[in-house]
Amino acid sequence: MRLALLASIFVLTLSAPAPADEIGECRFDRETLTFAGTPLDQATCLLRKVKLLGEKEPQPLPPVISSLMTNGGAPSAEMKEAALGAFPQPYQDYARLHATDPASQTEAGLPALYFVIHDTSDPFYKNDPFPRDIDNDHRVNSFTSYMDQTFASAPVAHIFLNRVGQIWAGHDFQEPWRATKLESRVVGVPARGRFVHIETVQPRRFLPGATNRGQTEGPRPGFSKAQYRMLAALYVYSSARTGRWLIPGFHATVDAGIPDAHDDPQNFELKEFGKELEQLVGR
Using the minimum distance from each CB to Zn ion, give the nearer residue, 30 or 262. 262
Q: In terms of CB distance, is 81 or 175 closer to Zn ion?
A: 175
CB of 234 to Zn ion, least distance (A): 15
Shortest Å distance, C-beta 116 to Zn ion: 8
- 18 burial class (0-12, 13-18, 19+ CB within 10 angstroms)? exposed
CA angle 222, 196, 175 (to 5 degrees): 135
Distance CA 166, CA 91 (A): 8
Closest approach, Cβ 123 to Zn ion, in A, equals 15
Bond before 123 cis per omega within 30 degrees: yes
Question: Distance (Å, rounded) from C-alpha 140 to C-alpha 123?
Answer: 6
Instruction: Catalog residues that contact Zn ion under the rule CB under 5 A.
Output: 118, 251, 262, 264
Query: Which residues neighbour 208 within 8 Å (Cβ) at sequence distance 6 or greater?
Result: none
Question: Least separation, in Å, of the C-beta of 26 and Zn ion?
Answer: 16
Which residue number, 183 or 264, has a Cβ lying nearer to Zn ion?
A: 264
Alpha helices, H only, the chain = 2-15, 39-46, 63-71, 77-86, 91-97, 138-141, 144-147, 181, 225-242, 251-254, 270-281
Beta carbon nearer to Zn ion, 84 or 173 = 173
Q: Which is nearer to Zn ion, 245 or 268 (CB)?
A: 268
